[in-house]
Amino acid sequence: MRSSKLFSVKHESVFKNELVLYPEFVPSLLLHRDNEIDSMVYAFNPVLEGKKPLNVFLTGSTGTGKTVSVRFVLRELENTSDRGKHLYLNCFEYNTRAGILFKLANFLGCVVPRRGMSTDELFEKVVEYLKKADFIPIVVLDEVDQLLLLEEESKILYDLLRINEYAGKSIGLVLISNDLELKSKLDDRIKSSLTEEAIEFNKYTPVQLKDILWNRAKIAFFEEAISKEVIDLSAAHSAKLGGDARIALSALLKAGRIADKLNSPKLELIHLNSAFSESDSASKKKAEIFLNENEKNLMKLISDKKELNSGELYELYSTKFPSLSERTLREIINSLESKKLISSEMISLGNKGKTRKIKVNE
């Protein structure tokens, strides 16, 4: 039989301040991104004079500091002047034209219903309230490649770039993507309007990762609870996965919680290794949350078969969902691959040509 007292305040913990390990945390000191920060400051500086900032296009692998860097710079901009305010949207969550216009209208002070308005009506509301705004909005679209998978949703970029024609006032636009080739995939009308400051974020080196992790860890943990071996292993694991600092920070957070759960006074390597497994699984689950119905159906088909080529997949999918075109299927495959839920490679079929072999990432 359980005691009636289930909860009690835990006084012992390896954490001094675990918030600094959260993905949304923006540190007061950002290491190893001076050049990228300087480029963004140059792009946003016109806001201080009430002028339109340059559009900014940030590219680089996952976990190279793109999001935290732009948030760091925009926080400093807003602390310096009230002439600029930013709206951050992750396109994993806000991946439709209507959804983004809805959020932008609300950001500008317009209360609109979630349903019942067309995208054209939403755009008109954005224009109306932009005219009244006493600040320059800077819209940050993170994971922007999610908008480019379907032609209809990609029109939002054209909306935002041409808004000056209707409102007589402009907005700043920040596009963030892991795809280094994204710009070449943009519609010609968008490319011609997108005069931007392009900034590429290189992968962190193992030494840089150690610096970043130590900088956070000494604030997050009590000194006696963390060791050089733990930081070195975190950095090595992250470097092995492409230099993703977020993976390492997430693993440290989870490892600390495992240590606390086991009433350990110190974060040990065994806690960290357990956290690696949890973090890898959580990343996949996060991406799966925002799948649409077609993507979920396709994931189930591929999972059931383990792996199959694109021709077999189309035949199987069109049998179950005959209204879906081959072009739409390709778009769904590209979407799932960009979310790192599946992977594909070109293989030869001999005299029959080539095809894509597709499998679910474990």
Residues 95-143: pLDDT tens digits?
889 999 999 999 999 998 877 889 999 999 999 999 999 999 999 999 9
C-alpha closest to that of 159 among 189, 202, 197:
189
Tally of CB atoms within 10 A around 100? 25
Q: Which residues contact 296 (CB under 8 A, 6 or more apart)?
A: none
User: How large is the average pLDDT for residues 135-157?
Assistant: 86
Give long-range contacts, CB 8 A cutoff, 24+ apart: 180-183.
180/59, 180/60, 182/59, 182/144, 182/145, 182/148, 183/57
Where residue 279 falls among pLDDT bands split at 50, 70, 90? low
The pLDDT, as a whole number, for residue 303 is 81
pLDDT higher than threshold 80 for residue 27: yes
Q: What tokens appear for 117 in the block?
A: 């308005």
How many Å apart are CA 62 and CA 92, to the nearest integer? 14
The pLDDT, as a whole number, for residue 4 is 62
The pLDDT, as a whole number, for residue 12 is 85
Cα angle 276-278-279, degrees, rounded to a multiple of 5: 65
The pLDDT, as a whole number, for residue 362 is 66
How many Å apart are CA 204 and CA 84, to the nearest integer? 30
DSSP class of residue 340 equals T
CA distances from 106 to 70, 113, 137 (A): 22, 10, 12
Where residue 255 falls among pLDDT bands split at 50, 70, 90? very high
How many Å apart are CA 138 and CA 171, to the nearest integer? 6
244 against 221, higher pLDDT: 221
State the chain's mean pLDDT as an integer.
87
313 against 218, higher pLDDT: 218
The pLDDT, as a whole number, for residue 26 is 96
Decide if 182 contacts 65 (C-beta within 8 A). no
Per-residue pLDDT of 57-83, as tens digits, reads 999 888 899 999 999 999 999 999 999
The pLDDT, as a whole number, for residue 287 is 61
Most confident region among 195-199, 264-268, 290-294 by mean pLDDT = 264-268
The pLDDT, as a whole number, for residue 194 is 74
Kindly compute the dihedral angle of the four CA atoms of residues 110, 113, 118, 120, in this order, to the nearest 10 degrees: 0
| Pairing mode of beta strands 136-142, 342-348 | unpaired
User: How large is the average pLDDT for residues 187-214?
Assistant: 86
The pLDDT, as a whole number, for residue 223 is 94
Q: Which residues contact 170 (CB under 8 A, 6 or more apart)?
A: 52, 136, 163, 164
pTM, 2 dp = 0.77
DSSP class of residue 241 equals T
The pLDDT, as a whole number, for residue 280 is 59
146 against 264, higher pLDDT: 264
Amino acid at 228: K
